[in-house]
Chain A
Amino acid sequence: MSSSPQTTSTNSAYLTNQFAHRFVRALNNLNHTKTSSHGHNQISRRTSRVKIAAYTAMASVVGSRRAWSRAVLWKIRKRSRIRSLLLRMNRKRVDHKIFNCHHHSKVMSLKRRNPNPKRQYYFNPFRNSSQESKLRKLVPGAQTMDSWCLMGETADYIKCLAAQGNNRKEVQ
């Protein structure tokens, strides 16, 4: 057994570069798709956008290799889909009743298969530590994993987060 867990991710240098690249790209995308900014919300909105961009970039670098990246990407895409749907509905100013029906149908149509299907939440009979449950909440997509996979995902997640943080600082 190798000394380190699955070294599926590329080396850190390449990773950071790729991440930076995609991060900036995502930021650009976000910036140019933004609608009018509302006053005091502007910063928070932009913050969230930047944050989303960061996570998207990070997750897309890793791709589908890790469960956490899949979870992150899926969440973001779902959120964007619903958000766009809502925006569209709002713009059309559909009647309230119809809005609900349409919304529901559109949501269903937009629903895609979750790459990490949420099977039954992992019930650890030996859950003597709440730390693992905390960890599961922190690391995206780690709700349904056993401890060993959880550790691996955490390791990868930490690595990517750290690289991302460094990159952000450099970018700044």
Chain B
Amino acid sequence: FAKKLQPHLLHFTSIMETSDGTGIPHSWNSHSISGMGIQATPNNTFFNPNCENLIDQRDLFESALSSIVSSPVNSNSGIIPIPIPGSGDSIVLRELIGRLGSICNSSDISPINGNNSATNSCYNTPLNSPPKLNLSITDHHQIPGNYPIPGNHPLPFHTDPGFAERAAKFSTFCNKKESFKTAGSQFMRIPEENKKLGDSNSNEEQPSVSETGMKGQNSNGRKRKVIPKGKGKEIQSNSTVKDDKVVAEAEKEESDAKRSKSTEPPKDYIHVRARRGQATDSHSLAERVRREKISERMKFLQDLVPGCNKVTGKAVMLDEIINYVQSLQRQVEFLSMKLATVNPRMDATMEALLSKDMFRPLVSVPNNVNPFDASVQPLPYGFQSQINGMVPDGPENQFSMNPLMAAMHRNSIMKPPHIDGFGEVI
């Protein structure tokens, strides 16, 4: 899903950006990120219950996107009527939103109507569900109060310390894109989208919504790769995951869209964290973990298989691996056949080999610094005689002791033993 979504999102964003004016795309992006609900709905309160209900996610996003598509200019007003987007866009939208909804939605999904306005309307209906998150409600309630305040300003309605912290962080995030240190790779993309968030948005909601979006992201929280810790914890403590998920999902999808072309953020963490822009239900998480474990192993295999550095992609890599394993097995067969044809000298060869090879490990193991050429040196005399007199398949206890003695002997002497003796064996 994520993969399908990304191209669509990207497409969508491209549509948006191409169709809109200069400042618009950013505002759109910010809109979409900051809070579909608010933009989508004429009601600020709309957003609050929206956040709480998973069902609303899709609608939120959809309506937000639809609104963005059609009337990006309304960002300044803060309230964006929900126009019907262009047909092509709507198709993309709907598909996108449908996918988003299916991804994000763990509860029942209200069917998306063909009409975005209709969706907005039905989007309204679930909003009346009792809010799950008190914090978000309070936040959002505060938002309308500060409605006309232009962006790039500290959110003055931080009655909630947590919210204040988040808002501050987010504002800094918005304003200085790269300064958002906690974002890491994930949020860095958001700044690109939210470039003008502070600028274009006179809507106080947006930063706050984005805030809540980020909050939502963080609250997904147990699974966030990079989280402003205080923010995440507070969110977690206060809110359910779901209400923020709405915004979070939207944001994530945006970031995913942006990220679809770029590499995925590296996952260095042992514990599972939902990446930004990804679905966060347990199933997809587990699958993602599984996929990444497998890809990690693939990378290791890539190192093993010679000449596979440039190969990317699991399928091609698997082909290479299969070929390599087959070639190795054929090589074993071929070499064994070769060895079999050399039969007549086998016994003597075996002895020599055995001695040589047994000598080598003992040399290498005790003195790891020993060069291997030294190991090829003939054995100490005593060992040699033993070999000569020894039946090949005889007691190998004896045999094993001798190399030890030989090694010890060698270690003590540290002098190349007689070469001629060894030649005799051969």
Contact = CB atoms under 8 A, between A and B. Distances in A.
Interface stretch (A28-36, A87-95, A109-117): A28-36
Nearest to A15: B361
B152 to A, nearest CB: 41
Contacts of B341: 43, 46
Interface in B307-365: 314-315, 318-319, 321-322, 324-326, 328-329, 331-333, 335-341, 343, 346-347, 350, 353-354, 357-358, 360-361, 364-365
B332 A168 contact: yes
A31 B357 contact: no
B354 A25 contact: yes
Contacts of A48: 336
A162 B304 contact: yes
A78 interface: no
B328 A155 contact: no
A28 B315 CA distance: 42
A76 interface: no
Interface string B355-398: 00110110011000000000000000000000000001100100
B181 interface: no
A29 B321 CA distance: 33
A102 interface: no
A20 B332 contact: no
B417 to A, nearest CB: 19
A172 B338 contact: yes
A83 B392 CA distance: 24
Contact-size category for A = 35 or more
Contact of A20 (B314, B333, B353): B353
A140 to B, nearest CB: 10
B300 A171 contact: no
Interface residues of B, number: 47
A145 interface: no
Contacts of A20: 353, 357, 360-361
Contact of B290 (A135, A148, A172): A148
Given A1-B270, A21-B358, A158-B324, A54 B301 contact: no
Contacts, number: 142
Contact of A135 (B325, B339, B343, B347): B325
B229 interface: no
A159 B328 CA distance: 10
Given A47-B340, A152-B297, A154-B321, A24 B350 contact: yes
Interface in B381-426: 392-393, 396
Contacts of A28: 347, 350, 354, 392-393
A50 B318 CA distance: 29
Nearest to A168: B335
Contacts of A157: 325
A168 B298 CA distance: 27
Contacts of A152: 297
B296 interface: yes
Contacts of B293: 148
Interface in A129-172: 129, 131-132, 134-135, 138-139, 147-148, 151-152, 154-155, 157-159, 161-162, 164-165, 168-169, 171-172
Contact of A147 (B294, B361, B396): B294
B354 A21 contact: yes
Given A51-B336, A148-B290, A132 B328 contact: no
Given A21-B354, A152-B297, A158-B304, A131 B318 contact: yes
Interface in A33-73: 42-43, 46-51, 53-55
B285 interface: no
Contact of B304 (A31, A159, A169, A172): A159
Given A20-B357, A27-B350, A155-B300, A164 B332 contact: yes
Contacts of A21: 354, 357-358, 361
B188 interface: no
Interface of A: 1, 3-5, 13-14, 17-18, 20-21, 24-25, 27-29, 31-32, 42-43, 46-51, 53-55, 129, 131-132, 134-135, 138-139, 147-148, 151-152, 154-155, 157-159, 161-162, 164-165, 168-169, 171-172
7 contacts: A48-B336, A53-B336, A55-B332, A129-B315, A138-B329, A148-B293, A158-B324
Given A43-B340, A138-B329, 13 more contacts: A5-B297, A17-B364, A21-B361, A28-B347, A43-B337, A46-B340, A129-B314, A129-B315, A147-B290, A151-B298, A155-B301, A155-B304, A162-B304
Interface of B: 270, 290, 293-294, 296-298, 300-301, 304-305, 314-315, 318-319, 321-322, 324-326, 328-329, 331-333, 335-341, 343, 346-347, 350, 353-354, 357-358, 360-361, 364-365, 392-393, 396
Which 10 A-B residue pairings sit nearest by Cβ, starting from the closest? Answer: A17-B361, A46-B340, A151-B297, A50-B336, A20-B357, A131-B318, A161-B328, A51-B336, A47-B340, A47-B337
